[in-house]
Chains A and B, each alone.
Chain A
Amino acid sequence: MIELKQLYQGFRDPDTINNLSNEIHRLANGYSGKINIMEVCGGHTHTIMKYGLNQLLPDNIEFVHGPGCPVCVMPKERIDHAAILASQNNVILVTLGDMIRVPGSKGSLAQFRAKGCDIRPIYDPLDTLTIAKDNPDKTVIFFAIGFETSTPMTAVLIEQAENQHIDNLLFHINHVLVPPAIDAVMADPQATVNAFIGPAHVSVISGAKLYRPTVENYGTPVVVAGFEPVDVMESILRIVKQKVADVAELDVQYSRAVSEDGNTHAQQKVNKYMMVRPQFRWRGLGPLADSALMLRAEYAHRDAEQIYADKLDVADIDDHKACQCGDILRGIAKPKDCKVFGRGCTPESPLGSCMVSSEGACNAYYRYNGV
């Protein structure tokens, strides 16, 4: 049982936040350079915008929004896969959260649901098991998305399906990995990022060690931060301290949940059922080697991508020409740089994924920013 109060208490104290802001101002004023902090994770983008933390920082600190929203980085052809699978006879397609809102080339999953497809958003992947048991005459397909955070839950779902011989449960795996996305951002010649706020939930699973190569390869500080306002402000202070001291280190602010090695039990479970996919095309970042996962060959009997291969087109589908989600996900443009932001592209009628996802940068700017 969870005691709900424990989830937020203590991390929104106005005095603490103001003191952190004052200290960041004091230190950053003595720093001559510009500090461009990428928050890789969309959850942090929303914390920053929702709590107005960007308004509490000096001018030489800027946030650059990163590619860490699992909904935003999904290319259209993969969303089309989900829609095609959901359109098959006797299929129930199950997926997480606001994936159902993102437009594919022929519409979003919500639009396909309105046409009569059985598409069910769920809160917990294990709910899929119940759906499969309750519908033995149907094929239930779990459209699995997310970074290292949500992958172990998919692995547990596969394990349960295997152990309980739930044979009508298949998987379409779209799990992606953080480090190749960071590498892709830094490989861009236009990249200006010189510090990172490391994702919180990803690090709980993978451990802080995931970011050591980032620190070493690019000489940038990485501070793994929690999602509360105090977490983010304290992490910024730690980044500024490193910048002032001219060092680049891996630091864990979110130490109440993140260890160096992470949850090794979860990692083993993922490795048992999934392996690195040779290549995965990301929205905005293009095809990246070794950047996603797929089912291992011994679980091919559960792989919807293989079983329905004749129906799933693998050709790339580009975004709308006017949409700048790609540049935003690479950190070289801000939402308001996009010509269609807030006009042709709104949360009700999105052209791009960054506007539709509740973790997308455009959505955060549209909802909260501009006062």
Chain B
Amino acid sequence: MSQTFDKATEKSVQLSHGGGGKEMNHLIKSIFFKAFNNPILASEEDAAIVNIEGQAAFTTDSFTVAPLFFAGGNIGKLAVAGTVNDLAMMGAEPQYLSCSFIIEEGFPIPQLKEIVDTMAAELHKSCTRVVCGDTKVVPKGCADGLFINTSGVGRILKPNISVKNLQVGDAIIVSGDIGRHGAAILMAREGLALESELTSDCANLWPIVEQLIAANIDIHAMRDATRGGLAAVLNEWAAASNVGIKVEESLIPVSDEVKGLCELYGFEPHDLANEGTFIMAVPNEIAAGALEIIQRYGHCEQAAIIGRVDADNQGKVVLKTPWGSSRYLDLPHGELLPRIC
């Protein structure tokens, strides 16, 4: 009887894995501790004791993506990259992360291992450590497979990066082609039979931000264009800094695959999520230098200056078409739903 039980637990997560007893201990040690191995976590105290010098940034995010695995990543990669990127966008060097798992009963253990190993690899890229965590197992039907929450603390290396800091004349830079994460998730979710090699842009942005800070680039504002995409970031900036932003559609990098998918579903690339692409506002005179750093050290050949901050249309974002007409680039509304005909 106990042998059968043990075999079952090897394959999938059981409610007993969240019970605080032997099974939970085994799960945590064999999967989480093994992957996230570091002395602070291994000390198994009630709270992690960490050293932070100077000003610190602190952030949290929960990840509930469906499907859990997609072209270019999985929920674990997102959970680390997402929180690390939130710190990086504030000019903070990511240092310590917490990590909480809410796992649905029956979740396959090999998949959990794969997700956690991906997280460990992603942590390695920014020399960040998971120093505390939590595991809950909920009954079948109470969660969609697996949810992950990560919180992160980082040391501010470049202060005063803010949504309120955009200045008239600033150049707007996008670090890569937009919309690939949203499009990859859509394709994975709907199982579309489309001929495409589209992958999510999911990536850790700290290495490139570190280069920009090292080059002493005067960054006014910086944000990763996650849910809501480019349109959401630019609208938030225009409103928070009370400026207008004018962007040229022809300068915004979009892959052919994303363009095609948008045509099919009636979406706009500017509204689709990114997980490894950021937007930056810098003084116009240093924009070309900043762009070169992103292109050279971030391997982002597609990075581009897409527009300028101006004093017209305060609080609004205007998109100029390649044929000379203009329109507002509005915030995306509600759920992304495809057109009907």
Residues A4 and B196 in contact in the complex (CB < 8 Å), given A21-B323, A51-B321, A97-B340:
yes
Q: Which residue of A lies closest to B196 (CB)?
A: A4
Counting chain B CB atoms within 10 Å of each CB, the highest count among A50, A99, A369 belongs to A50
Contact between A49 and B259, CB atoms less than 8 A apart: no
Contact between A96 and B322, CB atoms less than 8 A apart: no
Contact between A2 and B195, CB atoms less than 8 A apart: yes
* Bound CA span A196–B256, Å: 32
Contact with A along B316-341 (1 / 0, CB 8 A): 00100111111110100111011111
Q: Which of B34-42, B44-52, B152-160, B262-270 contacts A (4 or more CB under 8 A)?
A: B262-270
Contact between A3 and B195, CB atoms less than 8 A apart: yes
Q: Which of A24-32, A141-149, A279-287, A316-324 contacts B (4 or more CB under 8 A)?
A: A141-149
Tell me which residues across on chain A come within 8 A of B335, comparing CB atoms. Answer: 110, 121
Q: Which residue of A lies closest to B265 (CB)?
A: A123
Residues A150 and B327 in contact in the complex (CB < 8 Å), given A4-B256, A101-B334, A358-B266:
no
Contact between B341 and A201, CB atoms less than 8 A apart: yes
* Bound CA span A52–B327, Å: 6
B329 to chain A, nearest CB (A): 9
Residues A1 and B193 in contact in the complex (CB < 8 Å), given A7-B264, A150-B340, A371-B313:
yes
Tell me which residues across on chain B come within 8 A of A265, comparing CB atoms. Answer: none
* Bound CA span A98–B335, Å: 9
Contact between A4 and B257, CB atoms less than 8 A apart: yes
Contact between A7 and B263, CB atoms less than 8 A apart: yes
B219 to chain A, nearest CB (A): 29
Tell me which residues across on chain A come within 8 A of B6, comparing CB atoms. Answer: none
- Which positions 217-272 of chain B face chain A at CB distance < 8 Å? 250, 256-257, 259-261, 263-266
- Size band of the interface chain A makes with B: 35 or more
Contact between B325 and A100, CB atoms less than 8 A apart: no
- A348 lies within 8 A of chain B by Cβ: yes
Contact between A7 and B260, CB atoms less than 8 A apart: yes
Contact between B318 and A371, CB atoms less than 8 A apart: yes
- B53 lies within 8 A of chain A by Cβ: no
Counted as pairs of residues, one from A and one from B, with CB atoms less than 8 Å apart, the total is 118
Contact between A49 and B327, CB atoms less than 8 A apart: yes
Contact between A5 and B260, CB atoms less than 8 A apart: yes
Q: Which of A11-19, A180-188, A216-224, A300-308 contacts B (4 or more CB under 8 A)?
A: A11-19
Contact between A98 and B340, CB atoms less than 8 A apart: yes
Contact between B327 and A146, CB atoms less than 8 A apart: no
Contact of B341 among A18, A202, A366, A370 (CB under 8 A): A202
Contact between A56 and B341, CB atoms less than 8 A apart: no
Residues A8 and B260 in contact in the complex (CB < 8 Å), given A150-B341, A358-B337:
yes
Contact between B334 and A347, CB atoms less than 8 A apart: yes
- A163 lies within 8 A of chain B by Cβ: no
Residues A348 and B333 in contact in the complex (CB < 8 Å), given A17-B323, A358-B266:
yes
B301 to chain A, nearest CB (A): 20
Contact with A along B293-326 (1 / 0, CB 8 A): 0000000000000000000010000100111111
* 24 cross-chain CB contacts under 8 A: A2-B193, A2-B264, A4-B195, A4-B256, A4-B259, A5-B259, A6-B260, A7-B260, A7-B264, A14-B322, A18-B324, A43-B341, A51-B321, A52-B321, A97-B340, A99-B340, A121-B335, A150-B340, A201-B341, A202-B341, A358-B337, A367-B328, A367-B330, A368-B330
- Shortest Cβ-Cβ A-B pairs, 10 listed: A4-B260, A52-B325, A368-B327, A14-B322, A7-B263, A149-B341, A55-B325, A17-B323, A1-B195, A371-B326
11 new A-B pairs (CB below 8 Å) besides A4-B260, A5-B260, A229-B323? A2-B194, A4-B195, A4-B256, A5-B256, A14-B322, A18-B323, A43-B341, A51-B327, A52-B326, A55-B326, A121-B337
